[in-house]
Amino acid sequence: MDIRQLGDNIRNFSLDDGDLGSQGYTRVLLQLFGYTGHEKSSFINSCKYILEEGENFKEHAEARKTDYGPTMVRNAYPLTNVITIVDNRGCSKMNDFERAEVYAQLGNFIPIGEKVEWKDNYKAMMGAIEDSELEPNFSDLIVPIFVYSVRKLISAEERQDMKTFMENCVKMTDIVPIIVLTSKTKGDYLEMEKQFRLMGAETVMAIENYTMESTIKTLGRSTDILMVIDSALRYVRFRLEQPRDPRRERIERKKFMYNYIHHIQLHQEEKKDEIEKSEREKEEKKQEEEKKGLCTLL
């Protein structure tokens, strides 16, 4: 597809285009996820730069090149009147409750514009989910996008985290996350694409972001970035070909969150019991050794 046509198709996209209409959705929400320092913010800046068609590059989303990205607030950036891209808080390494926060962002249970704080207990997590019912958001059609830099090697722990994340994204959104590999010229993106496909990814796309240091628009770079958005819209069209119920889907996402948090609580209690059991066994062993030592003296 010609790059101009590709851009026009994105700018003119409407949720009412299908035979069944919007079915109650009012916005496409491209939800960006990933570890800190993998160029989520740079990807947003690149999308804005291309779609606005200007020659002045602007950092709409703050980006850093370190492993400790600055994004703490769930920020939204409109790409068109219908399409909005969201920079969710990233992680370095996730514990159980941080994983739950990631899914809370995915399910729109944390309001856009609100600071994302990692909670560390069951009560706080459940309270946050209940608070989201004050102004429930059920009209966003969510498309998950996972961003990963080819500069980084995928550890065994990350591989399992990402595989589980993709599986849970399908449960929550009915969509397998689009994988965006950034810095495509800085590593072996073909090998990394293979790894993600083995994890269950259906769409893997490699791109090179625009930055303050690299603003000259090229056909290939711009096309790659637009193709990511176009792929997301193809998922949207596919979903809208079948009857949908946005309110029911939010309820199902909420059930998923309750179940997920409940399992975290059980896991935490099991770990606590194991620690306490280990401490008791150590104490009993210590007392037993002290008794043997006393008997030897006698």
State the pLDDT at residue 94.
Answer: 60
Residue with tokens 């909420």: 254
Kindly report, residue by residue over 42-79, the tens digit of the pLDDT: 999 999 999 987 778 888 887 554 434 445 678 899 99
CA–CA separation, 125 vs 129, rounded Å? 7
Residues (pLDDT < 50) of the chain are 65-70
pLDDT 10s digits, 226-238: 999 999 999 999 9
**What torsion, rounded to 10 degrees, do the Cα atoms 192, 197, 200, 206 define?**
60
Please state the pTM of the whole predicted model. 0.86
- Going by DSSP bridges, is the β-strand pair 140-149/178-182 parallel, antiparallel, or unpaired? parallel
Residue type, 157: E
Q: Which residue, 88, 146, 77, 147, is CA-closest to 115?
A: 88
Q: Which of 71, 76, 60, 70 is nearest to 113 (CA)?
A: 76
Rounded Cα gap, residues 156 and 294, in angstroms:
49
pLDDT number for residue 70: 47
Q: Two tokens at 260?
A: 């997920």
Q: How far is CA 278 from CA 12, 162, 198, in A?
A: 62, 32, 38
For residue 291 the two structure tokens come to 């008794």
User: The domain 3-264 belongs to what CATH superfamily?
Assistant: P-loop containing nucleotide triphosphate hydrolases (3.40.50.300)
How many Cα atoms sit within 13 Å of 42 on the Cβ side?
26
* In the chain, where the domains are located: 3-264
Distance CA 46, CA 203 (A): 20
Torsion of CA 15, 231, 226, 141, to 10 degrees: 40
216: number of Cβ within 10 Å:
8
Instruction: Give strand pairing partners of 78.
Output: 84
Query: Taking each helix axis from N to C terminus, what angle separates 40-51 and 219-240, rounded to the nearest 10 degrees?
Result: 90
